[in-house]
Amino acid sequence: MRISALLALLFTIPALHAGFLSPDEPESKVKCVYSGTDGHCVEPILKSQNEIVITVVGQGVAPSVTASPAQAYALAKRAAMVDGYRLIAEKVKGVEVEGQDTIKNMMLMQSTTRTSVEALVRGANITNTTFKEGLCEVEMEISLSYSRVLR
């Protein structure tokens, strides 16, 4: 009985030292929500003191038949904007993924993956636009902070 109590005490002291008794971490240090396979930080946590800026690059293509190069540019930019907003929504809110495989006689007949995103986006801005060889790329950024989220 005494030995088990002693062992419990020995295991408890390092846990207390790592948790409650240690001083708070400095605010500048970025914490990870989860890590990728290489161990790098993937998602920083939004805190009340700092703000997170998310930058994405949306891509869009003009339709093959357009009235003028200006119309092609305008339409490609629209499509790129939509793609950019989708990427922002993916990063901020997340993606719903649904996979479906059909197997017949122990053989894969069909494989489909559906992803869907739905979000209300506020305060995103276009920072840069490039149009080259029919492909329009729009660089967009959104800044996340407590004041914006709770607005």
Partner 1 sequence: MRSRNGNFPFLFTSLALITTLALKADNYYIGYRLTAKNAQPINETLSISKAMQPCIASNNSPSLILKCTPNERLESVLQREENNFLEFASSQELHIQSNDIVGVSHTQLLNSLTLPTKCYAVEFNDESVTITATK
Structure token pair of residue 37 = 């396979």
In whole angstroms, how close is the CB of 142 to partner 1 at the nearest point? 10
144 binds partner 1 (CB under 8 A): no
The single residue among 52, 59, 144, 145 that binds partner 1, judged by CB under 8 A, is 59
Out of 119, 128, 130, 143, name the contact with partner 1 by CB under 8 A: 119
In 3D, which of 132, 33, 78 has the Cα closest to residue 86? 78
| Among the residue ranges 1-9, 10-18, 29-37, 72-80, the one whose residues contact partner 1 (CB under 8 A) | 72-80
Residues 97-116 that bind partner 1 (CB under 8 A): 110-116
Q: What is the dihedral of CA 88, 93, 96, 97, to 10 degrees?
A: 60
Q: Give bridge partners of residue 32 from the DSSP assignment.
A: 44
The number of residues in the chain equals 151
Q: How far is CA 55 from CA 48, 82, 87, 90, in A?
A: 20, 14, 9, 12
Which of 24, 25, 118, 133: binder of partner 1 (CB under 8 A)? 118
Residue 46 contacts partner 1 per CB under 8 A: no
Distance CA 38, CA 31 (A): 16
Q: How far is the CB of 71 from partner 1 (least distance, A)?
A: 11
Sites of contact with partner 1 (CB under 8 A):
59-63, 74-75, 77-83, 85-86, 88-89, 110-126
